Every structure is written in C-alpha cells, then in structure tokens.
C-alpha cells in the first residue's frame, strides 16, 4: 500500500495550491481519508478530512473557508485545494487513510493507518 502526496511548493501569501494524494496497492473507496500537516518541533495536526463517499467533510478552524477537500474514488485519489494561503500554512502536508469504514470524519492521527510521505508547502509573506 502506498500513498503519494504531491503538489506542494513555494507560493506567495494569498496564492493557491492544489495537493493530490494518489493511493495504490488496494482500493480505498470505502475508507475515509484526511490531510494533516506538521511543522518542525510540533505535532502533526488535522487539516481536513472526507468520508468514503464524499458526503461528509470536516476542516480545522484555521483553514475553514479557504481549503476544500475532494476525492475521486475511480482514481483512488484525494485532493486538497488551498486558497488564500497564509504564511502560517507553511508545513509538510501528509495524506492518510482511516483505519475504519466509518461515515464520520475522524481527526486524530492515531485513527489513520496509512500515510503518505508528505509534501512541503511554503507560503512566503
């Protein structure tokens, strides 16, 4: 099982980026997926999540209204559209797949089983 996160880069404040997370090795259409981010010296924190059908999403307060999450189960891929980026959004972003087939979106790292390698997002002021 592999998750490949991509789309990170350097962007100016106010700009946009779209992250992708491609899963391979098995089908994850029945599992929730999420994005987390981490800065050096701090814990990995939840950013956004989406349930297996895409009917439920959840966002951290810090990104609500600026980020959107979606998934294409036919492509085994999840996306994170990030708009109005701020310097405080700078972090390594990780995608992950939930351990369980729940309809709710879970927000704790321990609830996720598979993790991508991370993609660095840097927002300059």
Q: What is the pLDDT along the chain (125 residues), one digit of tens a residue?
A: 899 999 999 999 999 999 999 999 877 888 999 999 999 999 999 999 999 888 999 999 999 999 999 999 999 999 999 999 999 999 999 999 999 888 899 999 999 999 999 999 999 99
Integer Cα distance of 55 and 52 in angstroms? 8
pLDDT for the residue 100: 85
pLDDT for the residue 112: 96
Map 87-103 to HEC letters: HHHCEEEEEEEECCCCC
C-alpha pair distances (Å), 19 with each of 34, 79, 112: 12, 6, 19
pLDDT for the residue 80: 98
């Amino acid at each position: 099982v592999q998750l490949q996160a991509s789309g990170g880069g350097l962007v100016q404040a106010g700009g946009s980026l779209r992250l992708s997370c491609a899963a391979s090795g098995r089908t994850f259409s029945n599992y929730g997926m999420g994005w987390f981010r981490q800065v050096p010296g701090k814990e990995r924190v939840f950013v956004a999540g989406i349930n297996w059908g895409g009917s439920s999403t959840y966002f951290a307060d810090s990104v609500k209204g600026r980020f959107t999450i979606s998934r294409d189960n036919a492509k085994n891929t999840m996306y994170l559209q990030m708009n109005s980026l701020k310097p405080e959004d700078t972090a390594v972003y990780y995608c992950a797949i939930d351990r369980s087939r729940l309809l709710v979106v879970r927000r704790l790292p321990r609830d996720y089983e598979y993790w991508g390698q991370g993609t660095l997002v840097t927002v300059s002021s």
